[in-house]
Amino acid sequence: MTEGGRYIKDVESYFLSLAGEGIMLSSQDYALISKLRDRQIPKEVVLRGINRAFEKLNAKDDKGRNRIRSMKQCSSFIEESIEEYSPLKERKTSEEASSEHTGVIGEAAQKLSDFIKEEKDVSLRDYYTMLRNRVLELEGAPEDNALASIISLEADCLERFFSELPEGERESVRREAEERVKGRGRYMTEKAFSESVISFRNEIIHNKYGVRFLYSYD
């Protein structure tokens, strides 16, 4: 099992140990855990927030079950734990004050920092934070390869954003994108058709969900 997979499994196991029998995590719950992992939140901080949620919302319903049935109910308590975790505060302050990131990587990181500051939607802030962390991992890479690497990273993150949408919404977006390409499809190779569908899909994601792009995907 990969380190990322272990992170998700450990958080899942801890939550279920407190929630009791008859509880299963939803796709939204797994997406929440994945975003916490991508934000590089230490697992122990997440577990502390989950524990706090159960301590403060420990009342049972009329059938004697825990009122907490999903990770989403723990999210505000997890965020409290994150705010209290001083190393993360220090890292955030350091990143905001740092001027060491230059060139294409620095420009992309700064643009994403601006997106994070301006964005009110938590899920989009998490998306930009995940992408910024991955961009900063490129620090030290050859400048002539940096742009291509960043574009590839953003494409990967957009793919992940799309994959974490509810199934019905994914299908709706996919159908709309294919419909836009349909009239020209018979003149395209299979590869060109697929790339065009993805391009239109990303445009729909931008318009429908407000995801801002570092670069144009026309």
175 pLDDT band, cuts 50/70/90, is very high
Q: Say if residue 75 is in the same domain as residue 112.
A: no
111 with 76, same domain: the answer is no
Residues with Cβ within 8 Å of 184's Cβ and at least 6 positions away in sequence, in order, are 196
Could you tell me which residues come within 8 angstroms of residue 24 by beta carbon, excluding any fewer than 6 positions away? Answer: none
The fraction of the chain above a pLDDT of 70, given in percent, is 81
Residues 105 and 164 in one domain: yes
Sign of CA dihedral 30, 31, 33, 38: positive
Tens digit of pLDDT for each residue in 43-72? 888 998 998 888 887 655 555 556 788 898
- Distance (Å, rounded) from C-alpha 139 to C-alpha 184? 41
Q: Which whole number is the average pLDDT over 136-145?
A: 77
Counting the structural domains of the chain, the total is 2
Based on the domain organization, do 62 and 105 belong to the same domain?
no
16: left (phi over 0), alpha (psi -120 to 50) or beta: alpha
pLDDT tens profile 180-218: 887 665 667 777 888 888 888 998 999 999 999 987 544
Q: 178 and 73, same structural domain? A: no
Domain boundary among 72, 97, 122: 97
**pLDDT of residue 91 exceeding 70:** no
Among 97, 121, 145, the domain-final residue is 97
Pair 78, 112 in one domain:
no
Q: Which domain holds residue 206?
A: 99-218
Q: Within this chain, do residues 6 and 58 fall inside the same structural domain, yes or no?
A: yes
CA distance 186 to 196: 13
pLDDT(159) > 70:
yes
- Of 71, 97, 123, at which residue does a domain stop? 97
| DSSP class of 67 | S
d(C-alpha 43, C-alpha 130), whole Å: 16
For the chain, the average pLDDT equals: 81
Q: What interhelical angle do 75-84 and 86-97 show, nearest 10? A: 70
Tell whether 73 and 107 lie within a shared domain. no
Indicate whether 113 and 217 sit together in one domain: yes
Question: Which amino acid would we find at residue 54?
Answer: F
Tens digit of each residue's pLDDT (9 = 90 or more) over 15-40: 888 887 778 889 999 999 999 998 88
- Say whether both 3 and 68 belong to one domain: yes
Contacts 24+ apart (CB under 8 A), 69-73: 69/19, 69/23, 70/25, 70/26, 70/28, 70/29, 71/15, 71/25, 71/28, 71/29, 71/32, 71/33, 72/28, 72/29, 72/32
Same domain? 77 vs 105? no
Q: CB–CB of 10/43 below 8 Å?
A: yes
pLDDT in the model for residue 97: 41
Domain shared by 208 and 106, yes or no:
yes
Cβ contact 197:181 at 8 Å? yes
